Structure 1
Amino acid sequence: MKRLFTLCATLGLVILAIAGVINTQSSPPTSPLVSPTSTPSPHVLGVSTGECHAQQVNKDDPQAYLPDPSCTPGVTNPAVTQDNLSTTICASGYTQTIRPSVTYTNKLKIEQIASYGYEDTDPKNYEEDHFISLELGGDPSDPRNLWPEPHASINEKDKVENYLHEQVCKGVMSLAQAQQKITSNWYAIYQTLH
């Protein structure tokens, strides 16, 4: 009798385990990855309101902000490689061909302003910035490469992006080096430029 009870209990656990595996295999993924060639619906992956925090890297400079690396780590565009720079980022007008629509970035900006928990929620006071810029091979539409950058820091970061782009296109710096530099601390590079 004891053997029969043990056998039935074991069989019941096996059936439950199989049912659980079948159930999880048929469930759709909860947060699909965004393809660089698709037009994604705006959403912030794995982020809820107020969980992201921009980092001010120099308290004496109101322009010195970095995005939260857990929310906006920066994502590269797989279509841009070291081998095709002359036909992608170093070709005049290239970024205009891949820039996402303003409709997409404006919707995403509003969602990400909430995610970043900014007190000022007026979208006009932010630029939806590509953390790894398009001119450095950043993904154009992946939310993990876009963030609501406070307007104060736009001009300084643009100078760094232009400088790094020039270095890559002249062959002074590799694409991977430039991408690493912009994501590690663009402001430190800015300080060396002026």
Structure 2
Amino acid sequence: MSLSFSGTRLWAVAALATLALAGCHTSLAATPTSTSLSAPPAAPGELPVGNSAAAMPGPGTCTLGHRDGQPLPDPHCTPGAVNSAVRQDTIKDTICQAGWTKTVRPPTSKTNSMKAASARSYNLTPGDKGEYDHLVSLELGGAPDDPRNLWVEPGTIPNPKDAVENKLHAAVCAGLIQLAPAQQAIAANWVTAFDTVGLRIANGKVCLRDKPTSCVTSHRGDEDGS
């Protein structure tokens, strides 16, 4: 079968084809690329992922707090940050492996200068005694070298916070509590962290407050400060 078009019909077909192509180009140009999409907002209470390039607070901009006679960092300067490699599904291969924190602990050649800057942020004098502490400890998946997760904790070494870190670590690795609530609790207020996650200490064991028979014996972890 043969087809024939008059001149008018040929012009109309050509015009329609041109419009169709233009429509395709317009549609493609209006489609956003993956790089133009913004990241989803963080969930309420979620701690930031560690970033070694995060800004150190300026001198004199941070104020130490206290709870029950214990020091607390300024939440605006030191909110805490976490290691992206440590998640609930990776704890058996990371924080629950003996000696793992040694693989991520930053060298003192880096932290010494950070500690001095952090001390200036908190208006501490060079003679003040204290530990350059990970607010969310390495054994709980804290960010190793993010200034938002490090502060000069005044007092002796070891200090009461170390025992809290070890017990929370034991509870997480034993499956008594989940990782994220433990991280958030110690970042918000390490003094009240046990109550926040529903734990109690009894006869040297860490137990669930609502299920006293669910316990784990706490051992000293390998978070020995930095």
Mark yes or no: TM-score above 0.5: yes
Q: Determine the C-alpha separation between the residues in 2 that align with 1:127 and 1:165.
A: 20
Tell me how large the CA RMSD over aligned residues is.
Answer: 2.5
1:57 match? 67
SS in 2 for 1:161: helix
Q: Which protein has greater RCO, CA pairs closer than 8 Å, 6+ apart?
A: 1
Using the aligned pairs only, state the percent identity: 44
SS in 2 for 1:80: coil
The letter of the residue matching 2:98 is: S
Cα deviation, residue 56, structure 1? 1.4
Structure-2 separation of matches of 1:176 and 1:35: 14
Conserved 8 A contact 1:157-1:190: no
Whole-Å separation in 2 of the counterparts to 1:136 and 1:78: 12
How far the C-alpha of 1:190 sits from its partner, in A, is 6.7
Bigger radius of gyration, 1 or 2? Answer: 2
1:166 aligns with: 170
TM-score (normalizing by structure 2): 0.61
Matched residues in 2 for 1:51 and 1:153: separation?
A: 25
Find the residue that maps to 2:131 and give its secondary structure. strand
Matched, 1:135 2:139: yes
Report how far residue 155 of structure 1 moved.
Answer: 1.8
2:180 is aligned with 1:176: yes
What is the total number of aligned residue pairs between the two structures?
Answer: 151
Shift of 1:57: 1.5
Instruction: Indicate the residue corresponding to 2:214 in structure 1.
Output: none
Residue 116 of structure 1, aligned match among 113, 122, 144: 122
Structure 2 unmatched ranges of 5 or more: 1-48, 203-226
Q: How does 1:24-35 map to 2 (within 5 A)?
A: none
Confirm or deny: 8 A CA contact 2:94 2:100 kept in the other structure: yes
Structure 1 CA distance, aligned partners of 2:90 and 2:163? 24
Contact 1:65/1:153 (CA < 8 Å) preserved in 2?
Answer: no
Residues of 1 paired with 2:132 and 2:156: CA distance?
13
- For 2:149 and 2:56, locate their aligned partners in 1 and report how far apart those are by CA, in whole Å: 14
Instruction: Answer 1 or 2: which has greater strand percent.
Output: 2
What are the equivalent positions in structure 2 for 1:41-80 lying under 5 Å apart?
Answer: 45=55, 47-58=57-68, 61=69, 64-80=70-86
Q: Give 1:184 shift.
A: 1.8
**Structure with the higher helix share, 1 or 2:** 1
Which residue type is aligned with residue 101 of structure 2? Answer: T
Using the size of structure 1 for normalisation, the TM-score is 0.70
Give 3-state SS (helix, strand or coil) of 1:128's partner.
strand
Q: Does 1:156 align with 2:160?
A: yes
Cα 1:157–1:76 change in 2 (3 A) is same
Partner of 2:216: none
1:189 Cα deviation after fit:
4.0
CA drift of 1:121 comes to 2.3
Deviation at 1:79, TM superposition (A): 0.6
- Paired with 2:144 and 2:57, the residues of 1 have a C-alpha distance of 19
Query: Shift of the alpha carbon at 1:179?
Result: 0.4
User: Are the equivalent residues in 1 in contact too, given 2:80–2:187 (CA < 8 A)?
Assistant: yes
Equivalence for 1:83:
89
Deviation for aligned residue 1:45: 1.6
Secondary structure in 1 matching 2:151: strand
Q: Is the 8 A contact 2:135 2:151 kept in 1?
A: yes
Please give the secondary structure, in 1, of the residue aligned with 2:189. helix
